[in-house]
Amino acid sequence: MSRIDDATHALWDALADIETSRVEHAREVLLDGLRGLVDAQHACWVGAVRMDETLAGDPVRGWRPRIVHHQKTPQTTGTAETAAREQVRQLEAGEVDLSTVRTVSFAGSWRTHRLVDLLPADWFEGEYYRRYYLGQNRVDAIWSGVPVNADVEIYVGLYRHCGHPPFSQADRETVAHAMRGLRWFHRQQVLGHGLAIGASPLTDLERRVLSGLLGGLTDKQIAKRLESSPRTVHEYASRIYRKYAVANRSALMALWLGQGG
């Protein structure tokens, strides 16, 4: 068995051992593990939903990013999140880059691509690559798309910084293999961020209450953790149950573990 196989299996095992309530921690473990597999210097996680109403001629067919998370690493330029917000605003305004169009064109299928797999040579001479890649100290990327259901997808991006070689085909295949073995994990991530329930993700406070519910805490214990009142926590819990179309905590846990819904 190769070193890459050993590292991939170790990543799968590490993710399986994380409590279901620790959604954001699990996401960081995934990104750290994937970066290590292919010597990437930066990573991001995007949760996207397909909106019910789309404009005619929409090049991304109604798909919109609803959560964009960039890891904070020693190599990060510090402007990654600002650049990501700018890209989202452009997309909402109908200014969609070819790289996004090509990635979304595969919606509904598991896929992993390098930039060179998706885009023509002249794209690398254009403004988008100069601004959002070279301008962010990035020379290459691998993007992996995960269809969770017909209206929700996860995208994981891994970046090589300037001064490093572009990703190889073997790197792409390594990421594809690692991601494909984690269907259960991607589903939990989507649930944990509230993306499977509509166009709007859970609020930060709702996610914190959800974490407590899945961790087995009582309303009083969650309230103490959040410096709130049990009544307020109960109201948020009821709101979460309605959003997930379940009646109580037991049904919510069953949904989380893939036993219902």
The pLDDT of residue 55 is 60
Helix axes 204-214 and 249-256, enclosed angle (nearest 10):
90
Dihedrals phi, psi of 111, to nearest 5 degrees: -155, 150
pLDDT of residue 82: 87
Tokens of residue 141, six digits = 């990327």
**Whether 11 contacts 179, CB under 8 Å:** no
> What per-residue confidence (pLDDT) applies to 250?
92
pLDDT computed for residue 9 by the predictor: 97
- Side chain identity, residue 232: T
User: For residue 261, what pLDDT is reported?
Assistant: 43
Taking the mean position of all CA atoms in its chain, how far away is CA 14?
18
The pLDDT of residue 11 is 98
- Write the CA distances from 103 to 18, 114, 179, 182, 254, integer angstroms: 30, 10, 16, 20, 33
- pLDDT confidence of residue 52: 59
Alpha-carbon span 42 to 48, nearest angstrom: 20
Q: What is the 3-state secondary structure (H, E, C) of the chain?
A: CCHHHHHHHHHHHHHHCCCCCCHHHHHHHHHHHHHHHHCCCEEEEEEEEECCCCCCCCCCCCEEEEEEEECCCCCCCCCHHHHHHHHHHHHHCCCCCHHHHHHHCCCCCCEEEEHHHHCCHHHHHCHHHHHHCHHHCEEEEEEEEEEEECCEEEEEEEEEECCCCCCCHHHHHHHHHHHHCCHHHHHHHHHHCCHHHCCCCCCHHHHHHHHHHHCCCCHHHHHHHHCCCHHHHHHHHHHHHHHCCCCCHHHHHHHHCCCCC
Alpha carbon dihedral 124, 144, 192, 182, in 10-degree steps, equals -160
The Cα 177–Cα 12 span in angstroms is 11
**What tens-digit pLDDT sequence spans the chain (261 residues)?**
688 999 999 999 999 999 988 999 999 999 999 999 999 999 999 999 987 555 667 889 889 898 999 998 765 656 778 888 898 888 888 889 999 999 999 999 999 999 999 999 999 999 999 999 999 999 999 999 999 988 899 999 999 999 999 999 999 999 999 999 999 999 999 999 988 876 678 888 998 999 999 989 999 999 999 999 999 999 999 999 998 889 999 999 888 876 544
Supply the pLDDT for residue 54: 55
Global pTM reads: 0.88
